[in-house]
Amino acid sequence: MLDRTADNVARATPEPLAKKIRGISDKGLAWLFISPTILLLLAINIFPLFWAIYLSFTNFRANRPNEVVKNLGLANYRRILGDQDIWIAMQTTAHFVFWTILLQTVIGFTLAWLIDRKFRGHAFWTTIILVPMMLSPAVVGNFWRFLYEPQIGLFSYVVSFVTGIPPTNVQMLSNVELAPWAIIIVDTWMWTPYVMLICLAGLRSIPEYIYEAAEVDRASNWRQFWSITLPMALPFIMLAVLFRGIENFKMFDMVNLLTGGGPGSTTEVASITLKRQAFESWRTGYSSAFAIILFVAVFGLANIYVKALNKVKQR
Amino acid sequence: MSLTTAHSVVAPSSNAKLIAGTIIIAYALISIVPLLWIFATSFKTPPDSIAYPPKIVFQPSIEGYCNLFTTRTRQTPEYINSLGPATGFCDETVRKRNMVIAGPSNFLPRFVNSLIIAFGSTFCAVFLGTLSAYGFSRFKVPLADDLLFFILSTRFMPPIAVAIPIYLMYRELGLSDTALGMILLYTAVNVSLAVWLLKGFIDEIPREYEEAAMIDGYTRLQAFWRTVLPQATTGIAATAIFCLIFAWNEYAFAALLTSGTAQTAPPFIPTIIGEGGQDWPAVAAGTTIFLVPILVFTILLRKQLLRGITFGAVRK
């Protein structure tokens, strides 16, 4: 009885008001749903970013909060661009990014291509190969320190067993020549599966009729690979390179635990320099300026790259 | 994506399959060795763990796990003999090395911190992410592409660069070294992933379901709750697991912004030391316990993995 009364009242209400009773408008709902995320990102990401930009123009030091903060203008930026150590760190980062991406792309694509032969049990073995990339780079990187120990470490033992170099001489982490390769090996071990997985999706997206047509035209396997497989999988390969490039440019955790930037500064990638400047030397203003430069660099490079990627996709 | 569905490439010969299979299996076995070694080391005694040549066959022991969960002090044999009989297996093992268990180690509290922070931040990120993803998927939001790009771009920043101002901000707000601070931070990092992934999943749910429900008299909110959410369960679960894995594995923020009460396991595990350097069996034991949940999740996620790691850019 009461229900019916309420129903009649609702029906008698003019349309806009009824809408209000039934619920908020779509537009209101959209903002209600989206704004919490935007607000959170503004508070935790954008506000600190602007703070960092402000600090980058000052001589502020986080360990001396009571000192008078002086405005230095662009001095921090000028000092960074003239700082020999920063350029060395950038070179170290470039070396690391270049080799990890090259190795991961070549090995990852090869593995994906082999898995696409669809031998028996390929799904199982693919899952096994994927495991390393899901693990914590910090925790696993830390354990690699043990594998790299001269003599007692499994890696050193296997290397000396295979090459005949005395086991005490395989000093992956303390040798200036070898340490940059030690971090490249661990990163390649962890992230090759990542590239492989994306390449595999690329290979599987190639429609079969193209290969059938190539067969009809008697194109050799080699020719098919270079004219069909590789070009059609290229957007996927480039996507994998983009993701790995951004991640490795920011690389911190694995390297910090494996070498801490050492020996000396031979493995000091940009993020490690940043950490040393910000949290060990406490040059907050200076390191903020470096952080901004790094951010702009990643952002800029990624943007240029995405444009190139879209061009390849459209072809 | 699925690893099993076959589109047969113009049939590879059985010879090609054999060679491909052999190389893949060899790679898989070699790449899994470091993980097996972690597992094996966790069951070695400290002397066995640093033996030369490295021991493949050894007498298993749970000393590493005992050392992981306890702190010990060295005592004279006379003092140890004056104590009563050993109360447990760990007690007995430790006494053989002229040590006495002094108390629990910090591993368990750090592990609990990891659980609280990972689950807390995952819940928040998925909650916010689902709402935003639905908003972006179903409504005409002005500047939608720009907002979505803004949400993604927060991922471009190196964590250390973000950590500097966050460190200062948290110091002012009293959030340094608190679980709440870490949950907020991880939520902010994960929400970008959650929005992008979930938008993809919700885009795939036909609008007709909600429209039908709304014609039946449901409000938009009810339609969202009763028709979209149930359809998106798989996507939400997969997204949640990805967020969980990120928060669980994260090291940079945790190492710089927590030091004691809110420290998570990743910065803690490398600091486990015994007498004369790193206690590798204990480190391996901690690593093993830490990695097992991720292994389980990886197997559960197999089919959604590709989508998750590419922010939904590759969906097959």
**Could you read off the pLDDT tens digit of each residue along chain B, which spans 316 residues?**
444 434 444 567 888 889 999 999 999 999 999 999 999 999 998 888 888 888 888 889 888 999 999 888 888 888 888 887 877 888 888 888 888 888 889 999 999 999 999 999 999 999 999 999 999 998 888 888 888 888 888 787 888 888 888 998 998 899 989 999 999 999 999 999 999 899 989 998 998 888 888 888 888 888 888 889 998 998 999 899 989 999 999 999 999 999 888 999 999 999 888 777 788 999 999 999 999 988 888 888 877 888 887 877 777 6
CB A111 within 8 A of CB A129: yes
Residue given tokens 């008299």 in the structure block: B217
Predicted TM-score (pTM) of the model is: 0.87
Question: Is the CB of B251 less than 8 angstroms away from the CB of A205?
Answer: no
Residue B133 to residue B135: CA distance in whole angstroms = 5
pLDDT at B160: 86
User: How is B273-286 classified by DSSP, letter by letter?
Assistant: EETTEE-HHHHHHH
Residue B38 to residue A303: CA distance in whole angstroms = 40
Instruction: Please name the amino acid found at residue B94.
Output: V
Q: Which residue of A has its CA nearest to B295?
A: A131
A141 and A225 together in one domain: yes
DSSP assignment letter at A298: H
Q: How do strand B277-278 and strand B273-274 relate by DSSP bridges? A: antiparallel
Task: Please check whether residue A60 lies inside any domain of the structure.
Answer: no
Which of A23, A36, A118 lies nearest to residue B219, judging by beta carbons? A23
Task: Please check whether residue A132 lies inside any domain of the structure.
Answer: yes
Task: Please check whether residue A73 lies inside any domain of the structure.
Answer: no
Question: Is the CB of B164 less than 8 angstroms away from the CB of A284?
Answer: yes
User: Which of B1, B14, B23, B27 should be substituted to probe chain A, the one whose Cβ sees the most A Cβ atoms within 10 Å?
Assistant: B27
Domain count, chain A: 2
DSSP assignment letter at B54: P
A10 and A137 together in one domain: no
Question: Is the CB of B151 less than 8 angstroms away from the CB of A29?
Answer: no
Question: Is the CB of B294 less than 8 angstroms away from the CB of A134?
Answer: yes
Question: Is the CB of B252 less than 8 angstroms away from the CB of A252?
Answer: yes
Dmax (CA) for chain B in angstroms is 85
Question: Is the CB of A33 less than 8 angstroms away from the CB of B35?
Answer: no
A233, two tokens: 């999988």
Mean pLDDT per 10-residue segment, chain A (315 residues):
45 50 72 92 89 91 81 89 91 96 96 90 90 89 91 89 86 91 95 93 90 88 90 91 91 92 89 91 91 89 85 77
Task: Please check whether residue A65 lies inside any domain of the structure.
Answer: no
Task: Please check whether residue A70 lies inside any domain of the structure.
Answer: no
Domain ranges of chain B: 46-105, 108-264+291-309
B79/chain A closest Cα distance in angstroms: 34
B117/chain A closest Cα distance in angstroms: 15
pLDDT at B116: 95
A169 and A310 together in one domain: yes
A84 and A36 together in one domain: no
A38 and A150 together in one domain: no
Q: Which residues contact A151 (CB under 8 A, 6 or more apart)?
A: A157, A167, A168, B52
CATH number at residue A175: 1.10.3720.10
CATH for the B108-264+291-309 domain, from 3.40.50.300, 3.40.50.2000, 3.40.640.10, 1.10.3720.10: 1.10.3720.10
pLDDT at B277: 77
Which of A22, A24, A48 lies nearest to residue B169, judging by beta carbons? A48
Name all contacts of B299-305 with Cβ < 8 Å and 24+ positions apart: B299/A127, B300/B241, B301/B238, B301/B241, B301/B242, B302/A127, B302/A130, B302/B3, B303/B1, B303/B2, B303/B3, B304/B234, B304/B238, B304/B241, B305/A130, B305/A197, B305/B1
Which of B9, B134, B297 lies nearest to residue A208, judging by beta carbons? B9
Q: Which residue of A has its CA nearest to B297?
A: A134
Residue A35: give the domain boundaries: 2-55
Planar angle of CA B312, B314, B316, nearest 5 degrees: 110
A45 and A136 together in one domain: no
Q: Is B266 near chain A, with CB under 8 Å?
A: yes
Residue A86 to residue A82: CA distance in whole angstroms = 8
Question: Is the CB of A152 less than 8 angstroms away from the CB of B51?
Answer: yes
A34 and A181 together in one domain: no
A44, two tokens: 């935790």
pLDDT at A5: 45
CB B303 within 8 A of CB B2: yes
User: Which of A3, A21, A34, A234 should be substituted to probe chain B, the one whose Cβ sees the most B Cβ atoms within 10 Å?
Assistant: A34
User: How is B174-232 classified by DSSP, letter by letter?
Assistant: T-TT-HHHHHHHHHHHHHHHHHHHHHHHHHTS-HHHHHHHHHTT--HHHHIIIIIHHHT
